[in-house]
Chains A and B, each alone.
Chain A
Amino acid sequence: DTEVTQTPKHLVMGMTNKKSLKCEQHMGHRAMYWYKQKAKKPPELMFVYSYEKLSINESVPSRFSPECPNSSLLNLHLHALQPEDSALYLCASSQGRLDTDTQYFGPGTRLTVL
């Protein structure tokens, strides 16, 4: 089973709202990723968690706050977003082993910021 789930599928929020995106995997993977994807563009890496610790932050604005409560769950907390933050947010996971590290993607959350 190579399933990564994400909720919600769609989210519309105002610039003053606080919301969270959720990602879950039950494959025993120890690395989890957040990507942002604009239309017709490749995914852009935002954060990487490895063994529940933040290992990469690609200079993402502080209005995006990741959290990894346990090895199966990854959240992305959103606050005071801008309209240009509207995009598809993808979660991915991988085994976290150096010798075999294929990433598996979730279906994404389509975010619209008004």
Chain B
Amino acid sequence: AQTVTQSQPEMSVQEAETVTLSCTYDTSENNYYLFWYKQPPSRQMILVIRQEAYKQQNATENRFSVNFQKAAKSFSLKISDSQLGDTAMYFCAFMNPLLNTPLVFGKGTRLSVIA
């Protein structure tokens, strides 16, 4: 069974600084997808970034980028130039598309951006 581990329950960062959220996963599969979702307080969960395991290039979306280390089974999220609106729960998630298995979520990291 696949598992996703987020080892940082809470983190904080100063506005305009850079922060990295860690995520590791365990799988015996070679083809899979990884996701970072953001859930602001009392607001909707939105997709931040998605990475296909077969792609060597790390995904980026504006201020958000990932460091995908397939051999180490690591998928960290870097947020550059942190903004107050980045304050949220961040969930790392794994999916094996060939087995059509549900998303497997990590326990989440609560990020606070401090002015």
Number of residues of chain B lying within 8 A (CB) of chain A: 22
Number of residues of chain A lying within 8 A (CB) of chain B: 21
- Chain B CB within 8 A of A66 CB: no
- Given A99-B97, A102-B50, A40–B44 Cβ distance below 8 Å? no
Q: CB-nearest residue of chain B relative to A4?
A: B44
**From A101, A104, A108, contact of B33 by CB (8 A):** A101
Cα distance A40–B9 when bound, in Å?
A: 10
Cα distance A101–B89 when bound, in Å?
A: 22
Cβ A42 vs Cβ B108 within 8 A: yes
Q: CB-nearest residue of chain A relative to B105?
A: A42
Cα distance A81–B68 when bound, in Å?
A: 42
- Given A56-B102, A98-B100, A105–B46 Cβ distance below 8 Å? yes
Cα distance A58–B97 when bound, in Å?
A: 18
Cα distance A90–B44 when bound, in Å?
A: 9
**From A41, A58, A99, contact of B107 by CB (8 A):** A41
Q: For residue B105, which residues in chain A have a CB less than 8 angstroms away from its CB? A: 42-43
**From A45, A48, A58, A107, contact of B44 by CB (8 A):** A107
Question: Please, what's the 1-or-0 string for A47-84, where 1 marks a CB less than 8 Å from any CB in chain B?
Answer: 01000000010100000000000000000000000000
Cβ B44 vs Cβ A103 within 8 A: no
A window 86-110: CB within 8 A of B: 90, 98-108
Cα distance A3–B97 when bound, in Å?
A: 22
B window 27-73: CB within 8 A of A: 33, 35, 37, 43-47, 50
Cβ B44 vs Cβ A105 within 8 A: yes
Q: For residue B107, which residues in chain A have a CB less than 8 angstroms away from its CB? A: 41-42
Cβ B50 vs Cβ A98 within 8 A: no
- Given A42-B105, A101-B97, A90–B35 Cβ distance below 8 Å? no
27 A-B pairs in the complex with CB atoms less than 8 angstroms apart: A33-B102, A40-B108, A40-B110, A41-B107, A41-B108, A42-B105, A42-B106, A43-B45, A45-B103, A56-B102, A58-B102, A90-B45, A98-B97, A98-B98, A99-B97, A100-B97, A101-B100, A102-B33, A102-B35, A102-B47, A102-B50, A103-B103, A104-B47, A105-B37, A105-B45, A105-B46, A107-B44
